[in-house]
A and B are shown apart, each in its own frame.
Chain A
Amino acid sequence: MIELVVHVLVLIGLIISAVLTITFKDLLAAALASGVFSLLISVEFYILQAPDVAISQAAVGAGLTTAIFIIAIRATQRFEGETE
């Protein structure tokens, strides 16, 4: 029962974070929402009994990709649609 509740909560969180990723105009917030999406989907992989995939998703998706996005935002501009 508790497993089902956690599963449903993770799925709801996945949908919310995915919608937030595409609606944020602040690109730093969008990158962090995408990191939260990766973290939640690694929890989902763990619930579906694929711990191997969950570890690589948490490390690469939530850690490295977010860091690369933050570096790219630092090099360009923070808000969508800005022109220099």
Chain B
Amino acid sequence: MRMSKIVRTATDILYPFIIIFGFYIILHGHLTPGGGFQGGAVVATGTALVLVAYSWKELPGLVSKNLLWFQESGGLLLFIGAGLAAMIIGFPFFYNWLAGSGSIFGTPVAFGPNPGDLNTGGFLPIMNIAVGVEVWGGLVMVLLYLLSALEREERA
């Protein structure tokens, strides 16, 4: 089930950079191209590289099914919770009351052309993080179920 030593060594070097690039795309979703789905897909690609290069039984921490299930459900709950948080205070659904409020992600946006500030956007970065975590968990879970079916086939 393992691939050759060349593939495994290249994977060891490459996969942290791919995963960190994915986190960068998720966190800068409101400033640069990309966002939750794209960043989550990049992180899932980095994890898929490890899954294809190694046997998935050698990687208990990275790909436990319970953690992936928790990621998928937790991302969706965070997304809908961010929408409902506005209704609790008395605004319409998904109203972005965090933008410009001065708290987390609440710096007012500077007028005119500017390089962009990470600490702006209100609920948009929170929703990007939620979608990113959810897409990451979902896509890796698809691969994991394919691989576990393959292992069962080989054992039989």
Measuring CB to CB, which residues of chain A are less than 8 angstroms from any residue of chain B?
A: 51-52, 54-56, 59-60, 63-64, 67-68, 70-72, 74-75
Q: Is B20 an interface residue (CB 8 A)?
A: no
How extensive is the interface on chain B, given as a class? 20 to 34
Across the A-B interface, how many residue pairs have beta carbons closer than 8 Å?
56
- Determine chain B's interface SS by DSSP, over half rule: helix
- Determine chain A's interface SS by DSSP, over half rule: helix
Cα(A75)–Cα(B51), bound, Å: 15
Residue of B nearest to A72 (CB): B146
Measuring CB to CB, which residues of chain B are less than 8 angstroms from any residue of chain A?
A: 22, 25, 33-35, 37-38, 41-42, 44-45, 48-49, 51-52, 139, 142-143, 146-147, 149-150, 153
Nearest 10 pairs of A and B residues by beta carbon: A63-B45, A59-B41, A51-B33, A55-B38, A67-B48, A59-B42, A52-B33, A75-B150, A56-B38, A55-B34
A63 engages B153 (CB within 8 Å): no
Taking A70-B52, A71-B143 as contacts, is the C-beta distance between A59 and B38 under 8 angstroms?
Answer: yes
Give the residues in chain A near B35, CB-CB below 8 Å.
Answer: 52
Pull 30 A–B residue pairs with CB atoms less than 8 Å apart, ordered by A. A52-B33, A52-B34, A52-B35, A54-B33, A55-B41, A56-B41, A59-B22, A59-B38, A59-B41, A59-B42, A59-B44, A59-B45, A60-B41, A63-B42, A63-B44, A63-B45, A63-B49, A64-B41, A64-B48, A64-B139, A67-B48, A67-B49, A67-B143, A68-B142, A68-B143, A71-B52, A71-B143, A71-B146, A72-B146, A75-B150
